[in-house]
Each structure stands twice: as structure tokens, then as C-alpha cells.
Structure 1
Amino acid sequence: MLIRLADWDRIRSGEVTLQFRRWKRPTVRVGGTLRTSQGVLEIDAVDVVARVSRAEAVAAGFPTVKALKSTVDGREGALYRISLRFVGEDPRIELRSSSEVDGLVLAEPAVALLRLIAAHPGVRAADLAEMAGREKLPFKADVRTLKAKGLTESLRVGYRLSPRGEAYLRTLDD
């Protein structure tokens, strides 16, 4: 679930507590968390709605219902109201800036992926996947696994190794 960058400070402060999306099926679930580069959100409710009140539009960061609807109208699926709250910073940020890799063991395919990203920082996922002879979506899922371990960072385009990822590769080269 993408959240407008302009909403993040207001989500952190608790001023924005709702988001609205049109989905064929929800991509978040009640009780789940959404880990993003801006922080971690807890999902408190996910409901299909037929109408949006002005108060709900304001709670979603919009001045009017019309402004909110302009972001969801014309898209397929039911209209969902998602109640959320900020619960903390992204734990991957601290992890990736660490050079602590004791006990971390990766399978050879993951090591190969790290080496590929190290050799081609800032290259689009589709291009990296092609270089690796892989489909893009499974490739990106594997990169997310490395990111969760604090080994890579997403760039505006592509990826790069984090300091922890660089430290891990150095242990292999020793």
C-alpha cells in the first residue's frame, strides 16, 4: 500500500489515521503491520465502504471528500477504508547501518544476488533479473528478503548494498 510522502508527518503525529484504496481484494489485513522506509504502521481495521464522510476525508489527510475521491475514482475494485497508526521506525535502518554479521549465513543464491547488486548499484530490478536469468517478481521478492536482513537498500532506481551487506561480502572474501 503506497502512502503519499506528504502524509507521513501527519501519520506520525496521529493527525492522519485513515487511508482509502480501491482494491479487487485488500493488500493489508487487520492486526498486520506495514513496514516502509518511513516507518512501521499497524493496521487496525480494513472495511469496505460505500460512502466517505467529510470527517473521514479529513482523517485521511484531504480537505474534502471530493479531493479524496479524485485519488480513488476511476480505479477498479471496492472502496476500502483502512484505519492505521504509526508504531515505530523501520528496524531495517539500524540493522543495515551495522557491520555486525556474526552468525549470518546465506545460501549461495542469496550470496550471488548480493554480489550482483554490489557489481551493479542503481540498476533497475528488471535489468538485474535479466542479468541473473530470472523473472522480475521472484527476483524482487528475494531482494526484499535481503533487505529484511539489513543487507541491501532500495534506491530511487535499483538497489545497493548496505554497510552490513558490504561487511557480509568482506567476510566471504577473507
Structure 2
Amino acid sequence: MLFRNNVLEEIKTGRITLAFRQWTRPTVKSDGSLRTPVGILAIESVETVRPDEISDEDAGRAGFNDRKALLAELRKGKGGELYRIAFHLSGPDPREALQQQTDIGVEELAAIRKRLAVLDENSRTGAWTTTALQLIGEYAGQTAGNISESLGITKPTVKRKIRQLKELGLTESLQSGYRLSERGHVVHNRLSD
């Protein structure tokens, strides 16, 4: 479930606590969670609704001026069953704290090295982690396009691979491109030694 940047900011303030989506199958579930750029959303409920069950208040909680505006936006979609998703921001993305952790012991570094080796071994495109960390470390804002050219793989594949590095707290997404996190710089320097 994706949100536009302006909607994410309203979620962050607590103004938006509902979303409406048309899906053939829900991509989130009740009592689940969803990681977003503004933090972790706790999914309170996911339920099917009919358009006539949506109120102006619901539309407001979803970031629309009224029910009519929300329904007009939904008509632009691909169709499917209509779902009402209630949520609240439950806290920051734990990767943010991980990105700041720079006190990395020998055992932790060995675990990171092992995880990177597994990512390389499981990649259909060959070893990529060291080159990607090096490219991203060269300058903040390295784009997926630049990295894909250097690695000789598609841009969508690069984005997926960079998300794997982000899971380890090694990279951060910028408005445009990526950079190494503080943790990423430490790991990259120690792996290069």
C-alpha cells in the first residue's frame, strides 16, 4: 500500500488515519503493520465497504475534502473490491535507529559480512553488494540508474537490492538517490580494510 508524499506528511501529523483502496486481494491485514517513510503504521482494520457506506467524515480522515472527491479519485483506479483501512502511526522505522549504530563489534561485523555474502550468493545477477556499497559511498545521491549501469542490471532490480542493504541499516534513501548511513560508512570502511 503506497502513499503520496503529501499524504505521508498528513499521516505523520495524525490527520490522516484512513485509506480506501480497490484491490482484487488486500495487501495489508488487520492487526498487521506497514513500514512507510514516516514510520510504522499499525493496521487497525481492513474491511470491505460499499461506496454508499463512505461518509464525508471518512473522506476527511482519508485526506479528502468530502466523499465526492474521494469517490472521484477511486474511479481513476483499476477496479476491484473496495476496502476501508484504518491505521495509526505507531512509531519510527526501526531501520532509522539501526542506521545510526556505529559501534560494531567483531561478531556483528562477521554477521553483516555473512549476510552480504548470502545476498551475493542468492543473486541471479552475481555478486553486487561490495560494488553497490562502494558506488553509494562515492557520493550522496547516487541514483539507481547510475548503479544499474555500473552493475549491468535493471533499475528495478537495483532498487530491490538497495532495499536489502537498507534492511541491514547500511543505506538511506534520499529524495533522489541513496547514500550510505553512518553505520554503512563504518561497515564499508571496515570491510575494505
TM-score band, normalised by the shorter chain? 0.7 to 0.9
Once the two structures are superposed, what CA deviation does each residue of 1:103-123 show, in whole Å capped at 9, x if it has no partner?
132225322321122235423
Alpha-carbon distance in structure 1 between the residues aligned to 2:29 and 2:134: 35
Within the candidate set 119, 122, 127, 2:141 is matched to 122
1:171 aligns with 2:173: no
Structure 1 gaps of 5+ residues are: none
For 1:158, the equivalent position in structure 2 comes to: 177
Alpha-carbon distance in structure 1 between the residues aligned to 2:139 and 2:2: 26
Alpha-carbon distance in structure 2 between the residues aligned to 1:26 and 1:89: 24
For 2:78, the equivalent position in structure 1 comes to: 76
More divergent stretch after superposition (133-142 vs 1-10): 1-10
Amino acid across the alignment from 1:93: E
Normalising by structure 2, we get a TM-score of: 0.77
Once the two structures are superposed, what CA deviation does each residue of 1:37-86 show, in whole Å capped at 9, x if it has no partner?
21110112223322122221122232310222233221102232111111
For these two proteins, the number of residue pairs brought into alignment is 174
Alpha-carbon distance in structure 1 between the residues aligned to 2:165 and 2:140: 15
Superposition deviation, residue 91 in structure 1: 1.5
Amino acid across the alignment from 1:136: K
Query: What are the within-5 Å matches in structure 2 for residues 40-79 of structure 1?
Result: 40-51=40-51, 52-78=54-80, 79=82
Alpha-carbon distance in structure 2 between the residues aligned to 1:10 and 1:160: 26
Amino acid across the alignment from 2:104: V
More divergent stretch after superposition (128-137 vs 34-43): 128-137
1:132 aligns with 2:134: no
Quick check: 1:25–1:77 contact (8 Å CA) kept in 2? no
For 1:98, the equivalent position in structure 2 comes to: 101
SS at match of 1:140: helix
Structure 2 gaps of 5+ residues are: 121-127
Amino acid across the alignment from 1:60: A
Superposition deviation, residue 8 in structure 1: 4.6
For 1:86, the equivalent position in structure 2 comes to: 89
Quick check: 2:169–2:181 contact (8 Å CA) kept in 1? yes
Amino acid across the alignment from 1:22: Q
Superposition deviation, residue 98 in structure 1: 2.3
Superposition deviation, residue 9 in structure 1: 5.9
SS at match of 2:89: strand
For 2:22, the equivalent position in structure 1 comes to: 22
Distance change >3 Å, CA 121–CA 59, structure 1 → 2:
same
Quick check: 2:8–2:38 contact (8 Å CA) kept in 1? yes
- Between Structure 1 and Structure 2, the one with more helix by share is 2
Alpha-carbon distance in structure 1 between the residues aligned to 2:29 and 2:75: 22
| Paired-residue identity, % | 40
Amino acid across the alignment from 1:94: A
Quick check: 1:12–1:85 contact (8 Å CA) kept in 2? no
Aligned-CA RMSD value: 2.3
